[in-house]
């Protein structure tokens, strides 16, 4: 393994290539605040997480690279541990690459881990499950310091009814009613293995204790805006605007128009991606 260039910690590493060996596949774990980004996927306009990573990694590779993410988080959605893969010939050790990337990336995007993986490993297609968390504040006032990380619903919600409704989602179902309108995905059947909503008392603004409602869902795959559509529907249950039993009816053949509104993006976090 070559020595780490003196400037690597400042993102000034010279490109060192692996000679006579196949390209290496790197698995990157990334944490980011999605507030100011257009989402994970590179787009024609706006700053994306994928675009930032590809530009930073191209410095090490000395050529353009393609980064593949485990999930395409939308604009305003955050990630505690997004996973991405990239194939490179750069021979620097993981620590040097991580330091160099974090020196080039903005402070609201951090590479927290890098590993070499098998050549056929793919961040998206090798994933076995993903876990998302959605956070809501039900207090009369939301702190200005967390407004980008919660949906502020300033009313009392029936958490017991919401939990009953959330349990109906567990299993293999057709989630067409919770898919964003206009999506081009042909198959809408997905498997949910865990669906839990609970209130937690946490320290809030000005040392007060404020109710934080967190919905956590784990599944083998998710449709576009699926989690946010589920949360919007659960909130309607909590507000008494629909019955908990309506979830089962939606899964049995309901349309998107019959489910609840799509919750705003800022409360959503990609928590973890699990692989074999």
The yes-or-no answer on residue 74 being catalytic is yes
Question: CB–CB of 169/247 below 8 Å?
Answer: yes
Contacts of 85 (CB under 8 A, 6+ apart): 25, 26, 27, 28, 67, 68, 117, 121, 122, 123
Q: How many CB atoms lie within 10 A of CB 223?
A: 18
Any idea which residue has 């865990």 for tokens? Answer: 194
Task: Tell me which residue of 216, 200, 70 sits closest to 131, measured CA to CA.
Answer: 216
User: How distant, in Å, are the alpha carbons of 138, 162, 228, 235, 260 from that of 239?
Assistant: 11, 9, 17, 6, 12
Catalytic residue among 3, 33, 55, 74: 74
Helix locations, 179-267, DSSP H? 226-238, 246-251
Structure tokens at 237: 């249950």
Q: How far is CA 106 from CA 74, 86, 92, 198, in A?
A: 18, 20, 21, 33
What gap in Å lies between CA 212 and CA 136, rounded to an integer?
A: 6
> Which of 73, 61, 50 is CA-nearest to residue 134?
73
| Catalytic residue ranges | 74
């Amino acid at each position: 393994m070559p020595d780490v260039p003196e400037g690597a910690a400042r993102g000034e590493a010279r490109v060192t290539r692996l000679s006579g060996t196949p390209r290496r596949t790197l698995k990157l774990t990334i944490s980011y605040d999605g507030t100011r980004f257009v989402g994970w996927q590179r787009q024609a306009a706006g700053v994306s997480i994928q675009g930032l990573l590809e530009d930073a990694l191209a410095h090490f590779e000395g050529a353009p690279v393609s980064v593949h993410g485990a999930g395409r988080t939308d604009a305003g959605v955050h990630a505690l541990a997004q996973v991405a893969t990239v194939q490179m010939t750069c021979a620097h050790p993981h620590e040097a690459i991580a330091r160099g990337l974090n020196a080039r990336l903005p402070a609201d995007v951090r590479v927290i881990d890098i590993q070499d993986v098998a050549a056929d490993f793919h961040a998206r297609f090798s994933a076995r499950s993903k876990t998302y968390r959605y956070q809501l504040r039900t207090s009369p006032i939301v702190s200005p310091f967390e407004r980008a990380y919660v949906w502020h619903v300033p009313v009392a919600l029936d958490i017991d009814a919401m939990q009953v409704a959330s349990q109906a989602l567990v299993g293999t179902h057709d989630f067409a009613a919770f898919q964003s309108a206009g999506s081009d995905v042909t198959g809408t059947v997905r498997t949910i293995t865990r669906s839990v909503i609970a209130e937690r008392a946490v320290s809030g603004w000005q040392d007060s204790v404020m109710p934080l409602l967190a919905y956590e869902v784990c599944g083998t795959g998710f449709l576009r805006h699926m989690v946010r559509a589920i949360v919007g529907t659960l909130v309607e249950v909590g507000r008494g605007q629909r019955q908990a039993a309506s979830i089962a009816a939606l899964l049995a053949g309901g349309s998107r128009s019959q489910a609840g509104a799509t919750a705003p993006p800022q409360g959503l976090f990609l928590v973890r991606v699990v692989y074999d």
